[in-house]
Chain A
Amino acid sequence: MDFDLNDEQRLLKDSVDKLIATEYEFERRKRHAAEPDGWSRALWAKYADLGLLGLPFAEADGGFGGGPVETMIVLESFGRGLVLEPYFATVVLGGGLVRHGASAAQRAALVPRIADGSRLLAFAWMERQSRYNPADVKATARRDGGSWILNGEKSLVLHGDVADTILVTARISGDQRDRAGIGVFIVDASAPGVQRRGYPTQDGLRSAEITLADVRVDATDTLGEPGDALALVDRVTDEAIAGLCAESIGVMAAMHEITVEYLKTRQQFGRPIGDFQALQHRAVDMFVALEQARSMAIFATMMAGEADPAERRRAIAAAKVQIGRSGRKVGEEAIQLHGGIGMTMEYKVGHYFKRMTMIDRRFGDADLHLATLARMGGLFG
């Protein structure tokens, strides 16, 4: 048992932390957000140069062979910076589907382009009615000779506004919520029949509503088993949740540090407000919540590659519960302990709070995962 990073991982962490500390200093982040895409293409090129975009892919496919720990390192750092670039959409979600669901030929076509930054991905699984259930799919895929014809509407597609390639779930057979009968299709964003409407999200990222009207894709442009791709989706979702847990640690740790620093500097009644025990204890409770979350983020990282899907889901669900609960506590307390300044858009802490709040709504909130875990019989004995 070892909680330490190895030398290579430490090197990776140092370089990413350094880059983010500089490039995502709070005022600079505002400039990135003001760019046309809502994030920085120049930084994206830097991530490619540093090898971050190819990080989790196998070396044989043109990647760097990183595992869940490497992804955790990057995402925790990105959480500290509240990074805006579509790393999670392209590398974690899209890249996850490619790593686990693509054929050798598909990987040869996609991975080098993801790694060099020339191809952005998005994962379009959600629909208006589906909430957090990826099996609830109304969009259809109909076979037509050597093609699939896709129809339907996909919603809240993270970075779907800029993606070059959209990975879409659609139903080949079965009823609306059947686990069987779903395929994942590789759709070129510029294909005829693809319409998208981009918009900002609460946490400064971007999403899109996407309509597919008789969109034709080649019969081979599928990931995983057409008609049986939900296991692939679950696997990638679980990995992605582990990634969100890591990002959350960066977000929470930053909120906690900023808050403690504020307690030490803000003067009222002739002394730093951190002298007051009522506030000290609340800062400690934030710290305890953060450390409990950190433990579960590590657990999620270690279990993200677990072969048994039920054990993996149990662990990931437990981690998402802890992250959701700790995140809400740390976030709400960070705002409260700051007082009025915490309410303002111009000050950084509120942006962390908003990011944390939105993370709880990605791939199932704490309540949903608690229900899942409870149905599975919990964690012990």
Chain B
Amino acid sequence: MDLSFTPEERAFRDEARRFFRTEIPQAIRDKVAEGRHLSREDIVTSQRIMNARGWAVPHWPREWGGQDWSPIQTYFYQDEMQLASVPSPLPFNVSMVGPVIATFGNDAQKRAFLPQIANLDIWFCQGFSEPGSGSDLASLRTTAKRDGDHYVVNGQKTWTTLAQYADWIFCLVRTDMAAKKQEGISFLLIDMKSPGITVRPIQTIDGGREVNEVFLDEVRVPVANLVGQENKGWDYAKFLLGNERTGIARVGTSKERIRRIKQLAALELVGDTPLIEDAHFREKLAAVEVELKALELTQLRVVANERKLAKGKPDPASSILKIKGSEIQQATTELLMDVVGPYVTAYREEREEGWNEPPVGPDYAATAAPTYFNWRKISIYGGSNEIQRNIIAKAILGL
């Protein structure tokens, strides 16, 4: 038992730190650190810099740009990326549809899509949830009926993040209406420019417009865009959802936010005394730090265990990372609001082109409340924390 890292692992961490902090533009990293919204261009720029270095899709198969990293290297890659406030490569591309195509797609699909997905030449969004199918995803009702060498798709997807930027959407659709609900589902790639697709933004409680409804009305999709076998889509979806085992904890993001909380709490005065010197505040913060340190080690334990598991086999312990990771991230957004104090109340509508008007209160105030409101989503998406508890209850506790 030894918690130290090898010289090679430490060298890799230093290399990652240097890369993320020197190669990714400061302006983009500042936006992430300050909780401001990124433009499409910011996300594309950042991912292309990573891809040029071979670091956009390190977990993919080697022939498609993967790096064959050890779990520790992957851990440092994510941690340093988050600590440097670098936006993650678009998860819909690199963690979701990419690995599905690489694993279950045919050669033509791999050649057509994988390089463009890695370089964000094609932007994918995710068409899984529907108005009536959230946690019970397999109850989805969007249909795809075969018509010659096309499927005709009808239905509605929702919570489609950044669909307004997307070139393509990967969709779960029902291809066999008679089968048991998990068994009649297929995985389709659909061009967002196809006639019959309408995107309608949903404004979330933070004021943002990152999620959308996507309506599909008689959309014709070439059969060539079916990934894998017809009616096997549920297996691919499970693979996709279990694919990211450890990144969901976002320990680096929380560490970075704690650094920022301490920095801002040193600026905010309560009377003549900086808030950071208030014993009660410090204890609230320290309590979150303890949980975060524990989570970091729990994550490393899951990472270490990954070496013993068959590749692609999800570790149900990663559900702990989702539950705790989201709780801690949410706790940091609460603390950030506590630091800012009364100036969290001033609302500034999100605008992609930015703002010229002077801020109300300190310039760091405007994003505190929206970040808090927005971050309520992380215990809901990716399998809600209650679904994660169901997974642990069944797979680990045997209940």
A in complex with B? yes
Taking a contact as CB atoms closer than 8 A, the residue among B287, B389, B396 that contacts A370 in the complex is B287
Is A269 close to B, CB under 8 A?
no
Query: Are B1 and A370 touching (Cβ within 8 A)?
Result: no
* Cα of A6 to Cα of B262 in the assembled complex, Å: 40
CB contacts under 8 Å to A, within B280-322, are 282-283, 285-287, 289-298, 300-301, 304, 317, 320
Cα(A317)–Cα(B396), bound, Å: 30
Complex formed: what's the CA distance from A284 to B393 in Å?
6
Number of interface residues of B (CB under 8 A): 44
Q: Name the distance in Å between B387's Cβ and chain A's nearest Cβ.
A: 11
Are the CB atoms of B5 and A280 closer together than 8 Å?
A: no
Specify the chain A residue showing the minimal Cβ separation from B298: A295
Asked if residues B1 and A381 are in contact (CB atoms below 8 Å), the reply is: no
Q: Given that A263-B399, A284-B392 are contacting pairs, would A1 and B290 also be in contact in the complex, using a CB cutoff of 8 Å?
A: no
Q: Are B72 and A291 in contact (CB under 8 A)?
A: no
B298/A1 in contact, CB under 8 A: no
Q: Which residues of A contact B279 (CB under 8 A)?
A: 371, 374-375
- Assess whether B15 is interfacial by the CB under 8 Å rule: no
Contact of B1 among A275, A295, A298 (CB under 8 A): A298
Q: Is the CB of B304 within 8 A of A2?
A: yes
Across-interface contacts of B301 in A (CB, < 8 A) = 3, 295, 298
Task: Check B259 for interface membership: any CB of A closer than 8 A.
Answer: yes
Q: Is A292 an interface residue when CB atoms closer than 8 A count as contact?
A: yes
Are B72 and A378 in contact, CB atoms less than 8 angstroms apart?
A: no
B284 to chain A, nearest CB (A): 9
Contacts A288-B323, A298-B3, A378-B282 hold; do A280 and B290 have CB atoms under 8 A apart?
A: no
Q: How far is the CA of A1 from the CA of B9 in the complex (A)?
A: 9
Over the window 298-312 of chain A, the binary record of Cβ atoms lying under 8 Å from chain B Cβ atoms (1 yes, 0 no) is 110110000000000
Q: What 1/0 flags go to B1-12 for Cβ under 8 Å of A? A: 111110001000
Which chain A positions have C-beta within 8 A of B324? Answer: 288, 292
The minimal Cβ–Cβ distance linking A249 to chain B, given in whole angstroms, is: 12
- Structural contact, A274 and B3, CB atoms closer than 8 A: no
- Do A292 and B397 touch across chains, with their CB atoms under 8 A apart? no
Range of interface residues on A (Cβ < 8 Å): 35 or more
Residues of A within 8 A of B (CB): 1-6, 9, 69, 260, 263-264, 274-275, 277, 280-281, 283-285, 287-288, 291-296, 298-299, 301-302, 318, 321-322, 370-371, 373-375, 378-381
Complex: A5 Cα to B304 Cα, angstroms: 13
Q: Check A378–B3 contact: CB distance below 8 A.
A: no
Q: How near does chain A come to B346, taking the closest CB pair, in angstroms?
A: 27
List of B residues within 8 angstroms of A294 by Cβ: 298
Q: Which residues of A contact B262 (CB under 8 A)?
A: 378, 381
- B285 contacts A281, C-beta separation under 8 Å: no
28 contacts between A and B (CB under 8 A): A3-B301, A3-B304, A5-B1, A6-B1, A69-B1, A287-B397, A288-B323, A291-B298, A291-B320, A292-B291, A292-B298, A292-B324, A299-B293, A299-B294, A299-B297, A302-B2, A318-B293, A370-B287, A373-B289, A374-B279, A374-B283, A374-B285, A375-B282, A378-B258, A378-B262, A379-B292, A379-B293, A380-B258
Report yes or no: B285 in contact with A1, Cβ–Cβ below 8 A: no
Q: Which among A296, A301, A302, A379 has the highest number of chain B CB atoms within 10 Å?
A: A379
Would B290 and A373 count as touching, CB distance under 8 A? yes
Q: Are A379 and B289 closer than 8 Å at their CB atoms?
A: yes
Task: Say yes or no: A280-B397 contact (C-beta < 8 A), given A1-B300, A379-B289.
Answer: yes
Cross-chain contact A292 with B390 (CB below 8 angstroms): no
- When distances are taken between beta carbons in the complex, the residues of chain A under 8 Å from B9 are 1
Measured between C-beta atoms, what is the minimum distance from B150 to chain A in Å?
43
Residues from chain A with a CB closer than 8 A to the CB of B317 are 291
Give which listed residue, A5, A296, A375, contacts B294 with CB less than 8 A.
Answer: A296
User: Which residue numbers of B lie inside 8 Å of A, CB to CB?
Assistant: 1-5, 9, 72, 255-256, 258-259, 262, 279, 282-283, 285-287, 289-298, 300-301, 304, 317, 320, 323-324, 386, 389-390, 392-393, 396-399
Instruction: Tally inter-chain residue pairs, CB-CB below 8 A.
Output: 134
- What separation, in Å, do the CA atoms of A299 and B287 have in the docked complex? 16
What residues of A have a CB within 8 angstroms of the CB of B298 in the complex? Answer: 291-292, 294-295
Please pick, from B2, B287, B323, B393, the residue contacting A280 in the complex, using a CB distance under 8 A. Answer: B393
A269 shortest CB reach to chain B, Å: 16
Inter-chain contacts of A375 with B (CB < 8 A) = 279, 282
A299, B286: Cβ atoms under 8 Å? Answer: no
Given contacts A291-B298, A298-B1, is CB(A1)–CB(B304) below 8 Å? yes
Please determine whether A280 and B399 come into contact, CB atoms closer than 8 angstroms: yes
Instruction: Find chain B residues with CB under 8 A from A291 CB.
Output: 298, 317, 320
Contacts of B399 in A (CB 8 A): 260, 263-264, 274-275, 280, 283
- A319, chain B: closest CB distance, angstroms: 8
**A212 CA / B290 CA spacing, docked (Å):** 41
Instruction: Report the Cα distance A240→B286, complex, angstroms.
Output: 22
User: Beyond A291-B320, A292-B324, is A2–B1 a contact (Cβ under 8 Å)?
Assistant: yes
| Contacts A3-B300, A375-B279 supplied; 11 other A-B pairs, CB < 8 Å | A1-B9, A1-B72, A6-B1, A277-B390, A280-B393, A280-B397, A281-B389, A293-B294, A299-B293, A302-B3, A318-B289
Closest to A288 in B: B320
Question: What's the Cα separation between A295 and B5 when bound, in Å?
Answer: 17
**How near does chain B come to A288, taking the closest CB pair, in angstroms?**
5
**How far, in angstroms, from A370 to B283 measured CA to CA in the complex?**
6
Complex contact A381–B259 (CB within 8 A): yes
B207: shortest Cβ distance to chain A, in Å? Answer: 29
Cα A288 to Cα B282 with chains together (Å): 25
Asked whether A381 lies within 8 Å of B290 as measured between CB atoms, the reply is: no
Q: A9–B289 contact, CB under 8 A?
A: no
Cα distance A73–B279 in the bound complex, in angstroms? 36
- Complex formed: what's the CA distance from A299 to B295 in Å? 11
**Nearest 8 Cβ contacts at the A-B interface:** A381-B259, A295-B297, A374-B282, A280-B393, A292-B294, A374-B286, A284-B389, A379-B289
B1/A4 in contact, CB under 8 A: yes
Min CB–CB distance A40 → chain B (angstroms): 30
Which of B301, B389, B399 counts the most chain A CB atoms within 10 A? B399
Q: In the complex, what residues of B have CB within 8 A of residue A302's CB?
A: 1-3
A291 to B294, CA, bound (A): 9
Residues in B with CB closer than 8 Å to A295 are 294-298, 301
Shortest beta-carbon distance from B246 to chain A in Å: 14
Q: Would B1 and A380 count as touching, CB distance under 8 A?
A: no
A334 to chain B minimum Cβ distance, whole angstroms, is 14
- In whole angstroms, how far apart are the Cα atoms of A381 and B286 in the complex? 12
Among A274, A280, A287, which residue has its beta carbon within 8 angstroms of that of B390? A280
Kindly state the separation between the CA atoms of A277 and B289 in the bound complex, as whole angstroms: 30
Residues of B within 8 A of A281 (CB): 386, 389, 393
Within the complex, what minimum Cβ distance (angstroms) separates A314 from chain B? Answer: 10
Query: CA–CA, A283 to B297, complex, Å?
Result: 22
Which A residue's beta carbon lies closest to that of B255? A380
Residue of B nearest to A256 (CB): B397
- Whether A370 contacts B293 by the Cβ 8 Å rule is no
Nearest CB on B from A241, distance (A): 14
Residues of A contacting B285 in the complex (Cβ-Cβ under 8 angstroms): 374, 378
B285 CB to nearest chain A CB (Å): 6
Nearest chain A residue, comparing its CB with the CB of B283? A374
